[in-house]
Amino acid sequence: MAKYQHHDAAWRRAKDEGLRSRAALKLREIDGKFRVFRRGGRVLDLGCWPGGWLQVAAAAVGGRGRVVGVDLLAVDKLEIANVVTLVGDLADEAVCRELLEELGGTADLVLSDMSPSLSGVRDADRARHERLVELAIAVAGRTLSGGGVLVVKLFADIPQEITAGLRADFDKVSRFKPPTTRKGSREIYLVARGYRKQREAPPPGAGTVADERGDTKVQ
Enzyme catalytic residues: 153
> Omega before 50 cis (within 30°)?
yes
Contact call for residues 153 and 115 (beta carbons, < 8 A): yes
Nearest 5 degrees, angle CA 40-CA 191-CA 13?
75
- Burial of 119 from C-beta contacts in 10 A (0-12 / 13-18 / 19+): exposed
E strands present in 135-210: 144-155, 170-176, 187-195
Contacts of 129 (CB under 8 A, 6+ apart): 115, 116, 154, 155, 158
The SS3 assignment for 204 reads coil
Burial 20-45 (b: 16+ CB within 10 A, else e): bbbbbbbbbbbbeebebbeeebbbbb
